[in-house]
């Protein structure tokens, strides 16, 4: 990975500013006080949906200038901030490293863009934490998806954290099952011409499924079609 390709770092912390987002040149080694450069909520690199942008601005403005004096109010504010930080990390994907400042405990943790859990270290899942460059491929008795260092996997595998829609997950399972059924039928019939017709249809469906996955993936993830084995 080149310097230009390295992820940018973002801290979610309410300080009373319009935007609770801050960045630091220290990158992975930045401490909480080092995140001093404000990042506007309407920064074009972030491309927030309206609801998330409004939620972040409202949450930041809700913090009293001198901090919270009520513990229940502080706890409620921290929980809401975590919810927003998790949504932010999921939206941005692997091209950003998101941290969250827990004002109640005075701690800063990484927010995983895949599972949305909090971690003390960035490599808690390994590297990469979840598959980033995905391949769609039909192979007998294998899952429909591949990734380097991840092997084949199902579209709803929680460890992959793809977040695909239910309809797309169902269609990927169906495509994979139909490929297996087609292979079994060929072994029974040994008819290359009929098998070729079925494979062309499966190949077309695989390409369309790849296009649908591309539309649903978070930024920083890619998908390519690997064809039929």
Q: What is the pLDDT along the chain (229 residues), one digit of tens a residue?
A: 334 467 889 999 999 899 999 998 877 777 888 899 999 998 888 888 879 999 999 999 999 998 999 999 999 999 999 999 999 998 998 889 999 999 998 999 999 888 888 888 777 666 567 899 999 999 999 999 999 888 899 999 888 889 899 999 999 999 999 999 999 999 999 999 999 999 999 999 999 999 999 999 988 899 999 999 9
| Same domain assignment for residues 89 and 7 | yes
- The pLDDT value recorded for residue 121 is 78
Domain boundary among 92, 119, 146: 119
All residues at 6 or more sequence positions from 90 whose CB lies less than 8 Å from its CB, including other chains: 113, 116, 163, 218
Residue 126 falls inside a structural domain:
no
| Same domain assignment for residues 113 and 138 | no
Which residue range forms the structural domain that includes residue 22?
Answer: 3-119
Structural domain count of the chain: 2
Place of tokens 């990927």: 172
Q: What is the pLDDT of residues 156-201, one digit of tens each?
A: 988 888 989 999 999 999 999 999 999 999 999 999 999 999 999 9
Residue 9 falls inside a structural domain:
yes
| Same domain assignment for residues 50 and 138 | no
| Same domain assignment for residues 7 and 73 | yes
- The pLDDT value recorded for residue 32 is 87
């Amino acid at each position: 990975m080149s310097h230009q390709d390295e992820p940018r770092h973002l801290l979610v912390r309410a300080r009373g500013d319009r935007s609770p987002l801050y960045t630091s040149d220290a990158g992975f080694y930045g401490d909480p006080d080092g995140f001093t450069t404000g990042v506007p909520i309407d920064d074009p690199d972030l491309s927030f949906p309206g609801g998330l942008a409004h939620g972040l601005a409202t949450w930041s403005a809700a913090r009293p200038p001198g901090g919270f004096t009520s513990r229940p109010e502080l706890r409620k504010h921290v929980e809401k901030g975590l919810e927003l930080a998790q949504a932010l990390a999921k939206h941005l994907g692997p091209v950003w490293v998101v941290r969250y400042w827990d004002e109640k405990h005075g701690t800063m943790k990484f927010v995983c863009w895949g599972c949305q859990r909090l971690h003390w270290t960035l490599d808690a899942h390994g590297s990469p934490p979840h598959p980033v460059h995905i391949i769609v491929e039909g192979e007998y008795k294998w899952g429909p998806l591949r990734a380097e260092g991840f092997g084949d996997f199902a579209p709803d595998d929680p460890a992959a954290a793809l977040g695909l829609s239910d309809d797309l997950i169902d269609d990927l399972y169906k495509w994979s099952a139909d490929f297996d059924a087609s292979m079994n039928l060929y072994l029974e019939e040994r008819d290359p011409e009929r098998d070729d017709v079925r494979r062309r249809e499966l190949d077309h469906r695989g390409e369309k499924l790849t296009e649908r996955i591309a539309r649903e993936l978070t930024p920083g993830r890619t998908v390519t079609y690997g064809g039929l084995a």
